[in-house]
Amino acid sequence: MAAKQRLVFFGSGEFGLPSLRALVEVHEVALIVSQPDRPSGRGKSLTPTPIAEFALASNIPLLRPVDANTPEALTQIRAICAHAWVVIAFGQKLSPALLADRFAINLHGSLLPAYRGAAPIQRAVMEGNASTGVSVIALAERMDAGVIYASRERTIGTRETSDDVHDALAELGTSAVLGVLAEFERAGFDGRQLGSAQDESQATRARKLSKIEATVDCTTLTAGEARARINGLNAWPGCEVGLVESGSTVVSEWIKLCRVEECEGESTLAPSAMSANGRIGCTAQTSVQCLEVQRAGSRRMSFEEFSRGRPIAVGTRVVPRLI
């Protein structure tokens, strides 16, 4: 029977919640370290991170340092006697002084060495990859460059957005994290012989997304490329486009394209033209079908619901938001 390990968990975002829940069921989480509360919502009230909320609800000791590497925070964290540290979407870089002589693992949202960096899930979807996955790695001085202890792979569905893939990978990561901790125990709680080095020649970067990218130009992309970009931009920063009526040069309404799928067969629509049923023409006689959209100040809705309140006239064009 596997030993019940004593752990310190570092995390802030929702990506770490499934693994944290699983760890609490199997092991003892002695301390959770998360980011400080942040202003949120229209009232900008201070709100704990999803991980901090879990800690508070579960009565697990919680530390929320502005910087986990300060002498005070370092002393508090390292005072906890633990077999291992688990780090998932924490949001702070941990210093060598903090990590010294600790077995610390990190769950990353890509099949490393591909997509090192801030936006691995979004970039994989935006670039039209057929699959992606998660990797459990050692924390290293260079971002996401530590040895790989485990990985899991899954396909990216043709209708899936980055949010869909994010949630699926968060669940997929639980078995990988638990598996690495089991291997750590079998190795006599000595992680020095575990893992394999990454192939640096295959390393790619997943740069942080910005609002500058939050649009699409269907006059320059095939349907496959447009589908990947639109679905990859959902939900943040989103994909905003303007609707221009026939004979006009002025945008009548700005909307967000939230989810689309690639249409089969050749399209008769000109690139950027939108049909009444929500098809948008792309290059190479291809097109995408709008499945979900969002009007300014409103909720996400199906294109069918949107078109009932805002019919699309013949000759309407979809234009990118200009930065």
Q: For 107-164, write each residue's pLDDT tens digit.
A: 999 999 999 999 999 999 999 999 999 999 999 989 999 999 999 999 999 999 999 9
For the cut 90, the answer to whether the pLDDT of residue 3 exceeds it is no
CATH topology for the 6-206 domain: Rossmann fold (3.40.50)
Let me know: does 87 contact 139? Beta carbons within 8 Å. Answer: yes
Instruction: Give me the percent of the chain exceeding a pLDDT of 70.
Output: 99
Question: How far is 46 from 29, CA to CA, in rounded Å?
Answer: 25
The answer to whether 6-206 and 211-320 have equal CATH topology is no
Closest CA to 269 of 281, 277, 257: 281
The pLDDT value given to residue 296: 92
The mean pLDDT value for 67-84 works out to 98
For the cut 80, the answer to whether the pLDDT of residue 2 exceeds it is no
pTM, two decimal places: 0.96
If pLDDT is split at 50, 70 and 90, which confidence band does 40 have?
confident
Six-digit token pair at 282?
A: 């792309």
Reduce the DSSP state of residue 320 to 3 states and report it: strand
The pLDDT value given to residue 44: 80
Up-side HSE of residue 55: CA atoms within 13 Å toward CB?
26
Q: What is the domain class of 211-320 according to CATH?
A: alpha beta
The pLDDT value given to residue 322: 82
Name residue, tokens 């980055």: 162
> Taking the alpha carbons of 51, 52, 55, 56 in that order, is the dihedral positive or negative?
negative
The pLDDT value given to residue 323: 65
Q: For 273-287, write each residue's pLDDT tens digit.
A: 999 999 999 999 999
The mean pLDDT value for 90-106 works out to 97
Q: For 154-197, write each residue's pLDDT tens digit.
A: 999 999 999 999 999 999 999 999 999 999 999 999 999 999 99
Name the pairing type of β-strands 300-302 and 317-320.
unpaired
Up-side HSE of residue 222: CA atoms within 13 Å toward CB?
8
Name residue, tokens 């089969």: 264
Domain ranges of the chain: 6-206, 211-320
- 322: amino acid identity, one letter: L
The pLDDT value given to residue 1: 55
